[in-house]
Structure 1
């Protein structure tokens, strides 16, 4: 499917997330707590499934050919360690929580949703907002469809991948918003910024990353999604926000290995 203009695929994706989130918010209050809890468990399991599919990229033939056998796992490990150290020093998780909390407070004030809330209820609402925003943003913005689809759109090669991603994200947003509320709605902004930026890069530079670098990034992102899945299932509260720099480190580390081998 040819795009009418660069960025159309991202626009469709953003609209799908917004519609899905609004529908989820509309029906969410009608669901009992036990139903919302099991929905969250289902989302956690599916997130682990998506994470597993992304992690398989560590076995990608182009990555093994570029860095050598056995090295891809070390690249992913190194990316996560370096990225997490940088993220923790920059306190990314804490800053994201502060930013999300400020946004949640502003949105709550406009929607008058904070009227009559106790401090505990307000804190729970803030935590739910942060979890929804971070979880949905990572789920929607990390993966091969995000990168390849946005670049393909920027290159004028079509928006088929982003249309497929839009359908998946729309249903995911509906499910997430029924549990996490307005935080999922604002994840559409994350989609617009990240995919929009990748599309612009595709327009300007033609090709952003070789297949090997994309595979390393995707596998690293897959493990981060696994962390989100564990958080959703309440198994372990992994500070995934602090791992975000790993998405930048992965292709850089891959390139370093390629240069050393060359």
Structure 2
């Protein structure tokens, strides 16, 4: 079974980054500044819709607390940022200031670890239905074009970790998915929605959160959700 949605999503991000960087100078300033706001609100809306499906709220919150503690202790966000800068140097791209890195890591999370992407990759791997990822592909394509118009074509590099993450989920889906109950899947999706909403807040400059440090929560959430269901 070919991962159509996974491939389409990653290719769209790679092409969108190049296109956005190429047409950036010709785009009116009002478009380059206003559309990211729309994408930020769109991320919040997607996040809210996924978070609303939560079944067991307590394990989701606990996974976020423990996940953040683990991420902070491991300096996960800083390690990822150092990795990005290493790739940048090897590819001879010039990155901007701390604000650039903040926006880049936020977009990295949105494209690689959003609730829609994770759930879409698992769904396609298990059922072959790529509709969720194809819908995400359309949004990601236009999102990366707009952001690449100001941030440059280095944004296309996100397509590589995005493909690796989604392909891994796609391949593991046949093992993971049958082990997850409907409640676990809903809680896992809700966690992805909350992190997507946080990333949207980052884009909107409402509240800056080190969302990458919350990534360990994805590993903890299914386990805690299962234990919660067994106890309660």
Matched, 1:11 2:7: yes
Structure 2 CA distance for aligned equivalents of residues 243 and 205 of structure 1: 21
Aligned to 2:172: 201
Structure 2 CA distance for aligned equivalents of residues 228 and 156 of structure 1: 28
How much does 1:236 deviate? 2.7
Where does 1:76-95 land on structure 2 (aligned, <5 Å)?
76-95=60-79
How much does 1:175 deviate? 2.3
How much does 1:184 deviate? 2.8
Unaligned runs of 5+ in 2: none
Unaligned runs of 5+ in 1: 64-71, 115-121
Q: CA, structure 1 residues 23+45, in 2 after alignment: closer, same or farther (shift >3 Å)? A: same
Matched, 1:231 2:202: yes
Q: CA, structure 1 residues 242+176, in 2 after alignment: closer, same or farther (shift >3 Å)? A: same
SS of equivalent residue, structure 1 residue 57: coil
SS of equivalent residue, structure 1 residue 6: coil
Q: How many residues align?
A: 232
Aligned to 2:128: 157
Where does 1:60-139 land on structure 2 (aligned, <5 Å)?
63=55, 72-107=56-91, 109=92, 114=94, 123-124=96-97, 127-128=99-100, 130-139=101-110
Aligned to 2:20: 24
Q: CA, structure 1 residues 30+105, in 2 after alignment: closer, same or farther (shift >3 Å)? A: farther
How much does 1:204 deviate? 5.1
Q: CA, structure 1 residues 7+163, in 2 after alignment: closer, same or farther (shift >3 Å)? A: same
Structure 1, 198-207 or 163-172: larger mean CA deviation: 198-207
RMSD between superposed Cα atoms in Å = 2.5
Structure 1 CA distance for aligned equivalents of residues 193 and 30 of structure 2: 29
Structure 1 CA distance for aligned equivalents of residues 30 and 210 of structure 2: 26
Q: CA, structure 1 residues 170+208, in 2 after alignment: closer, same or farther (shift >3 Å)? A: farther
How much does 1:142 deviate? 3.5
Matched, 1:54 2:50: yes
The structure number with the bigger radius of gyration is 1
Matched, 1:174 2:145: yes
Does structure 1 conserve the Cα–Cα contact (< 8 Å) formed by 2:40 and 2:201? yes
How much does 1:207 deviate? 2.9
Which residue of 39, 44, 67 maps to 1:43? 39
SS of equivalent residue, structure 2 residue 48: helix
Matched, 1:140 2:111: yes
Structure 1 CA distance for aligned equivalents of residues 196 and 116 of structure 2: 15
